[in-house]
Structure 1
Amino acid sequence: MNSPLISPSELKLKLDHPNLLLLDARYSPNPRQTYEKGHLAGAIFVDPNEDLADIKENFAEGGRHPLPEVSDFCETLGRLGINPESHLVIYDDQNGANAAARMWWMLRALGHQKVQVLEGGYQAALAAGFSVSKDSPTLTPTSAYPASEWTLGIASMDDVEAVAQDKNYLVIDVRSAERYRGDHEPIDLIAGHIPGAENMPLTDNMDASGRFHSPEQIRERYLPLFGEMDNEHIIVHCGSGVSACHTLLALDYAGLGIPTLYVGSWSEWSRNDKPIGKTLG
């Protein structure tokens, strides 16, 4: 499978494929309720908080959306009927910046190749005439997904602190420029950024309609910053390790591979008495 993205028109041609599973990963204060009010027909519900994270009482321990244990995620996949032959298409309502790209990354990190994010998300599917349903499909649970470790790069808070100001590494903050500068912080306790991090807002991966720029345009944006660095030396973070996956997906779409993810991100860093950078707007 070549592209991490699939268009609504491409998806329409595959809906009857026996191995295809459509997954609804929209995030809201009550994801289950959002799903039950209406979802793409045949889509399986995925809870971003329960299925894609192991949220702790103290966000200083891994941030707001720490990864679950691999074994727990593999059990979740089995419960959803996902096996290594499944062709998975995930959507949310933020063109992947919500939780679809996070689930894409997690699956790729287990070694699953047949996984794509729906370009344009829920809204694009509706515009393309996809049916909406309030019925939940019958799941066909299987055994736990056969994987034992995350195989993509993951950075800890200590890893980031050690290299954030090292010229041989690049730390990218994909949050908005306002949050990066420290103008305001709508979610976490402290405004600012990790000293040494470069701000590359994820919204700039998309055009005015919310669709991804072409692979060529994405490469033109990032290659001058990357230089000759390999992906082990490039660390991407956001607020809680979710929307950073949108940039990782964009980079993979552009043929640049998948750099390292700092899962804890700003929500962990800002709660651990670490240095705080601020920039005058």
Structure 2
Amino acid sequence: MTLKTTLIDVEALAALVPDDVLIVDCRFDLMAPGSGQRDVGKGERDYREGHIPGAVYASLDADLSDLSRKAEGLGRHPLPLEQAFSEVLSRWGWREGTQIVCYDAASGSLAAARLWWLLRLAGIRSVAVLDGGYPAWVNAGKTVEAGDVHRAARPVSLHFDAGQYIVDHASLRNDPKRVLLDARAVPRYRGEVEPIDPVGGHVPGALNRPFSENLREDGRFKPADVLRREFEAALGSHAAPDVVHMCGSGVTACHNLLAMEHAGLSGSRLYAPSWSGWVSDAGRPVAKGAEPG
């Protein structure tokens, strides 16, 4: 079996032998997440009503983030610690070499892209996002099942390669080569509206590439060659390893990371605290409007 490392389509997923794949449902509603680490939000309720057969559930808040660390200035969705994420993979019964496929709803595969990136951070490359998400599976007439899925736990011990994949507050300000790419919608980037964070605007010098521009009207990603041309046009003379992605809390930025990798533009990194982490320090500068040029 040829392992998928960015995207996988419905037919390719349906053809996989169940024992050879770990499927993870990442559906999550940012406006109805549940109020605590293990409270059930809309995404988990939707999962229990119907999901791809064999899929386990991943909560953005409880499994793919550590909300207890928000007070450290790490943004609204701080990254989980290595041990905690290892325990999540253990609970899912992951074993090395297994193809992982993650998916969510039609809102752009945002939480699924976050899981994809976290797994790469942990050195796991055999992970792909289902192109078009759960709606693509359902619209293709594929089987679904209800209830919870429990897999036999296995011992897992992961380590994050932070230096290769993550940029923190200090290195963001001290790297003259980097170019920031902000995945938020244009009005939020420009500071015209800000529905979540206390301050609107963007990091001075950051460019804007809304993650929605990676998608076709049906919710699937644009072809790799199209994405490559669009990102190269947006980045100008900057090479992929110079790019640092950000968004509101480090989730939608992973969508741009995934799109670039799918387009063959490898080596970009994530400013994980993103805008919510940047504005946690009132002394950091804020820009509004469009960047010149």
Shared fold, TM over 0.5: yes
Indicate the residue corresponding to 2:160 in structure 1.
Answer: 149
Match runs of 1:83-122 below 5 Å: 83-94=95-106, 96-122=108-134
Cα deviations across residues 112-131 of structure 1 (Å, max 9, x unaligned)? 12111000001111101122
- CA displacement at 1:2 relative to structure 2: 5.0
* Matched residue type, 1:13: A
Q: Does 1:195 align with 2:204?
A: yes
Unaligned runs of 5+ in 2: 34-40
- CA displacement at 1:12 relative to structure 2: 1.0
* Matched residue type, 1:24: D
For residues 146 and 267 of structure 2, what CA distance do their matches in structure 1 show?
Answer: 36
For residues 52 and 216 of structure 2, what CA distance do their matches in structure 1 show?
Answer: 24
- CA displacement at 1:260 relative to structure 2: 0.8
Indicate the residue corresponding to 1:242 in structure 2.
Answer: 251
Percent of pairs with identical residues? 34
Change in 2 beyond 3 A, CA 1:57/1:229: closer
- CA displacement at 1:187 relative to structure 2: 1.3
Indicate the residue corresponding to 1:5 in structure 2.
Answer: 7
* Matched residue type, 1:20: V
For residues 172 and 98 of structure 2, what CA distance do their matches in structure 1 show?
Answer: 35
Change in 2 beyond 3 A, CA 1:45/1:245: same
For residues 57 and 215 of structure 1, what CA distance do their matches in structure 2 show?
Answer: 36
For residues 59 and 234 of structure 1, what CA distance do their matches in structure 2 show?
Answer: 27
Change in 2 beyond 3 A, CA 1:130/1:59: farther
Cα deviations across residues 187-240 of structure 1 (Å, max 9, x unaligned)? 111111111000111111112222111111111111134455444421000111
* Matched residue type, 2:288: K
Change in 2 beyond 3 A, CA 1:3/1:96: farther
- CA displacement at 1:98 relative to structure 2: 2.3
Unaligned runs of 5+ in 1: none
> Aligned match of 1:184 in 185, 188, 193?
193
Change in 2 beyond 3 A, CA 1:44/1:37: same
Indicate the residue corresponding to 2:55 in structure 1.
Answer: 43
- CA displacement at 1:96 relative to structure 2: 4.9
For residues 280 and 6 of structure 1, what CA distance do their matches in structure 2 show?
Answer: 35
> Aligned match of 1:272 in 281, 284, 291?
281
For residues 144 and 4 of structure 2, what CA distance do their matches in structure 1 show?
Answer: 28
Q: For the Cα contact (< 8 Å) 1:104–1:116, is it kept in 2? A: yes
- CA displacement at 1:59 relative to structure 2: 5.0
Q: Does 1:69 align with 2:81?
A: yes
* Matched residue type, 1:45: Y
Q: For the Cα contact (< 8 Å) 1:56–1:64, is it kept in 2? A: no
Could you state the TM-score of these two structures normalised by the residue count of structure 2? 0.88
Q: For the Cα contact (< 8 Å) 1:249–1:258, is it kept in 2? A: no
Indicate the residue corresponding to 1:23 in structure 2.
Answer: 24
* Matched residue type, 1:64: R
* Matched residue type, 1:148: H
Secondary structure of the residue aligned to 1:18 is helix
Could you state the TM-score of these two structures normalised by the residue count of structure 1? 0.91
Indicate the residue corresponding to 1:222 in structure 2.
Answer: 231
Q: For the Cα contact (< 8 Å) 1:52–1:67, is it kept in 2? A: yes
Cα deviations across residues 93-126 of structure 1 (Å, max 9, x unaligned)? 1465421000001111111121110000011111
Match runs of 1:131-150 below 5 Å: 131-145=143-157, 147-150=158-161
> Aligned match of 1:170 in 168, 179, 194?
179
For residues 132 and 267 of structure 2, what CA distance do their matches in structure 1 show?
Answer: 21
Cα deviations across residues 42-81 of structure 1 (Å, max 9, x unaligned)? 2111111111111136456200111111122112101110
Aligned Cα root-mean-square deviation (Å): 1.9
* Matched residue type, 1:150: D
For residues 19 and 221 of structure 1, what CA distance do their matches in structure 2 show?
Answer: 35
- CA displacement at 1:9 relative to structure 2: 1.2
